[in-house]
Structure 1
Amino acid sequence: MIRIIPDVLDADGVARLRAILDAADWIDGNETSGPQAALAKRNQQLPEFGEPAVEAGRLVLDALGRTPMFIAAALPLKIYPPYFNRYAGGETFGDHIDNAIRMRRGSDFRMRADLSATLFLADPGSYEGGGLVIEGMTAPPGLKLPAGHMVLYPSSTVHRVEPVTTGARVASFMWIQSMVRDQGQRDLLFDLDMGVQGAAMALGQGDATVVRLTGVYHNLLRRWADS
């Protein structure tokens, strides 16, 4: 299921990240593409191992660790170090499905991509086009979220970025291996978690019903999760 995660970064966080990105040198986005993606992809990307991408990636990962809704929705086991891309002048990324296994060059890091995430870093009014279209979830012109907001969706879905006709679409994207592989189980856990939090606000954390529901959540997580 698609999840909108608001305010992963506040305005100051976006500004700090954009200062790094706007001063960096960008390269052809196909440096990291698989065979299918290379046929559909036209954009720019920060070099994966360059200092700007590493520094900006740390800021994104730190922000995700402070975002309870992301943790609840993704139940992350591994997060691939964030990439950063830019679309301008008609650049686009046609229909594609993300690779199931992500391997980091020059290391033994590998992971299963259960979820894909896009963190928007440009105000939607600053560019035309560039909507993220996710099959079965969004239709053209696609999602264009405020800077600092994230969309999380299954990596198994066909998706694309519509051509950017004016301005520049800047974003971070990454993949997540969840502790819970099954999407349906993740959705149930998320809904239960939101319900428990709502009950705790209404009844108090020590209420017997809240305690019991919290136990149900953790016992299901214990049953379904790999760590």
Structure 2
Amino acid sequence: MMLQIPQVLTKAQVAQARALIDAGEWVDGNVTSGFQSALAKNNLQLPEGSAASLQAGALVREALTRNALFTTAALPASVFPPMFNRYGPGKTFADHFDNAIRQDRDGVRLRADISATLFLSEPDQYEGGELTVEDTYGVHQVKLEAGDLILYPASSLHRVEPVTAGERTAAVLWVQSLVREDARRALLFDMDMAVQSAGARLGQGDTAVIALTGAYHNLLRMWAEL
């Protein structure tokens, strides 16, 4: 399931995050790459342990905890600390798959079920640089407003198209979900949206709403991994 989540960060929060990371010291993005990724990756990255990365990452993670749509769609058990990257002219990240297991600076391991890109540059500030994701439903190109986030299965083949002008700055992060399988998360998301819609129309005390709510929680209870 691919899902756009608008305004994870407000424009003021985008400006705050950009002030932090723009003042940081950027390095070759391959400092965190495995062998295969290093062949495809050509960008700059903010060091994970730097003060700028930690402060901006805390801002992003706090915003995610308050975002109901993110919680409903991702059902997060753990969120890997955001990593900040930058693409100038000629920079790209060719076709690749994300690592199944991520390990943070403290040695904590996380199963990457969901990948996410949070855009921190406005679309008119750079040319090219689309996030291209290939899944069973085809090829999708994504270029969002600053502060918007796109979720997609971490198992998807994806790439960042070459930037031809300007500069593309974004945060990338990974989620270990309470529900491992993407198809099950998609079904639960649709059910939750249906519960909310029916509740708004019929009232939370309506018998159909209660039944649908119960079905949602029974499936979540059965599929959740704690």
Establish whether TM, by shorter chain, passes 0.5: yes
Alignment deviations for residues 4-28 of structure 1 (CA, whole Å, 9 cap, x no partner):
1111111111111111111111111
Q: Hey, what's the Cα distance between the residues in 2 that align with 1:44 and 1:121? A: 14
In the alignment, what sits opposite 2:51? 51
Q: Hey, what's the Cα distance between the residues in 1 that align with 2:100 and 2:128? A: 28
After TM superposition, the structure 1 = structure 2 runs for residues 84-95 of structure 1, keeping only pairs within 5 Å, are: 84-95=84-95
After TM superposition, the structure 1 = structure 2 runs for residues 72-83 of structure 1, keeping only pairs within 5 Å, are: 72-83=72-83
Amino acid at match of 1:4: Q
In the alignment, what sits opposite 2:61? 61
The two structures, once aligned, show a CA RMSD in angstroms of 1.2
- 1:103, CA displacement in angstroms? 1.2
The residue matched to 1:49 in structure 2 has which SS?
Answer: coil
Residue 98 of structure 2 is aligned to residue 123 of structure 1: no
- 1:213, CA displacement in angstroms? 1.1
- 1:138, CA displacement in angstroms? 6.2
Structure 2 gap ranges (5+): none
- 1:104, CA displacement in angstroms? 1.8
Structure 1 gap ranges (5+): none
The residue matched to 1:21 in structure 2 has which SS?
Answer: helix
Q: Hey, what's the Cα distance between the residues in 2 that align with 1:53 and 1:13? A: 15
Q: Hey, what's the Cα distance between the residues in 2 that align with 1:14 and 1:202? A: 35
- 1:216, CA displacement in angstroms? 1.0
Alignment deviations for residues 44-101 of structure 1 (CA, whole Å, 9 cap, x no partner):
0000000000000000000101111111111011111110000002100000000111
In the alignment, what sits opposite 1:224? 223
- 1:132, CA displacement in angstroms? 0.4
Q: Hey, what's the Cα distance between the residues in 2 that align with 1:23 and 1:138? A: 39
Q: Hey, what's the Cα distance between the residues in 2 that align with 1:138 and 1:35? A: 28
When normalised by structure 1's length, the TM-score is 0.96
* Count of aligned positions: 225
When normalised by structure 2's length, the TM-score is 0.96
Q: Hey, what's the Cα distance between the residues in 2 that align with 1:160 and 1:33? A: 15
Instruction: State, as a whole percentage, how many aligned pairs show the same letter.
Output: 55
The residue matched to 1:72 in structure 2 has which SS?
Answer: helix
Q: Hey, what's the Cα distance between the residues in 1 that align with 2:209 and 2:59? A: 34
Q: Hey, what's the Cα distance between the residues in 1 that align with 2:213 and 2:10? A: 30
After TM superposition, the structure 1 = structure 2 runs for residues 62-211 of structure 1, keeping only pairs within 5 Å, are: 62-105=62-105, 107-136=106-135, 139=139, 142-211=141-210
Q: Hey, what's the Cα distance between the residues in 1 that align with 2:155 and 2:221? A: 25
Alignment deviations for residues 122-153 of structure 1 (CA, whole Å, 9 cap, x no partner):
0001100000000135647x210011110100
